[in-house]
């Protein structure tokens, strides 16, 4: 990650300026100590400055070193993309289960994921599903409850019993397919 940050000039400049700011803060903190400890406080600051400079230079040099090339694969033409590699448009089919753990989804995607899951569960004939949103401070729980309250396929919902997640999960009861008409 640091290597990516330092890959361009602006990143390197920001890194060096951060180190200079740390050194300035250390010098400011050393000033009152110099009145008590005398010149020894400045020796400590000089040692700190040299160490900081050495680390900064080492990191910058490491970031500028060429990255090791990937081992060549004789079965693939250079410059050609792997046609078998999944792209962002390729969906992965997952088995439909009676519970969905929402921890692996970004919070902004949860409403869309829950709605799609409810439709798939209903189409598969499931009558009860469990949505695992976690305990936390309750923000995700409220979002899930709000979505369930207005979703047309949901008959009722409640917090899961303690053995199934307690208030870290919500059980939703779906309408029957024949009730939909």
Give the CATH number of the domain where residue 144 resides.
3.30.1370.110
- Of 64-68, 82-86, 107-111, 125-129, the range with the lowest mean pLDDT is 82-86
Mention every residue, 6+ apart, whose C-beta is less than 8 A from residue 170: 130, 131, 133, 141, 144, 145, 148, 157, 158, 159, 160
Tokens 């910058």 label which residue? 60
pLDDT by residue (tens digit) across 2-61?
556 566 677 777 777 777 877 777 777 777 777 777 777 778 778 877 887 777 777 766
Within 13 Å of residue 43, how many CA atoms lie on the same side as its CB? 4
Same domain flag for 171 and 103: yes
Domain match, 105 and 33 both: no
108 with 160, same domain: the answer is: yes
Most confident range, picked from 33-47, 148-162, 166-180: 148-162
Pairing, β 99-101 against β 128-132:
parallel
Range of the domain at 167: 99-179
Could you tell me if 59 and 107 lie in one domain?
no
Query: Helix, strand, or coil here: 159?
Result: strand
Q: Is there a single domain that holds both residue 107 and residue 39?
A: no
On whether the CB atoms of residues 12 and 63 are closer than 8 A, the answer is yes
Residue 126 banded pLDDT, cuts 50, 70, 90: very high
Q: Are residues 59 and 112 in the same domain?
A: no
Q: Is residue 13 part of a domain?
A: yes
Total number of domains in the chain = 2
pLDDT band at residue 179 using 50, 70 and 90 as cut-offs = low
User: Do both 105 and 174 map to the same domain?
Assistant: yes
d(CA 110, CA 104) in angstroms, rounded, equals 10
Reading across the β-sheet that carries 99-101, which strands appear in turn?
A: 99-101, 128-132, 169-174, 154-159
Query: C-alpha angle 22/23/29, rounded to 5°?
Result: 90
Q: Is residue 123 part of a domain?
A: yes
State the pTM of this model: 0.49
- Same-domain check for residues 106 and 58: no
Of 40, 64, 88, the residue at which a domain comes to its end is: 64
- Same domain for 37 and 105, yes or no, is no
Is residue 55 included in any domain, yes or no?
yes
């Amino acid at each position: 990650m640091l290597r990516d940050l330092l890959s361009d000039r602006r990143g390197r400049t920001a890194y060096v300026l951060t180190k200079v700011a740390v050194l300035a803060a250390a010098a400011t903190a050393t000033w009152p100590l110099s009145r008590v400890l005398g010149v020894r406080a400045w020796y400590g600051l000089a040692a700190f400055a040299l160490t900081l400079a050495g680390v900064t230079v080492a990191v910058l040099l490491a970031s500028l070193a060429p990255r090791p090339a990937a081992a060549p694969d004789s079965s693939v033409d250079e410059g050609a993309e792997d046609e078998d590699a999944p792209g962002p448009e390729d969906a992965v089919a997952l088995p439909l289960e009676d519970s969905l753990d929402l921890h692996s989804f970004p919070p902004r995607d949860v409403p869309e994921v829950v709605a799609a899951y409810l439709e798939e569960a209903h189409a598969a004939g499931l009558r009860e599903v469990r949505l695992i949103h976690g305990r936390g401070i309750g923000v995700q729980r409220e979002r899930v409850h709000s979505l369930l309250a207005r979703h047309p396929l949901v008959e009722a919902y409640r917090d899961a019993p303690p053995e199934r997640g307690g208030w870290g999960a919500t059980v939703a009861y779906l309408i029957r397919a024949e009730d939909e008409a």
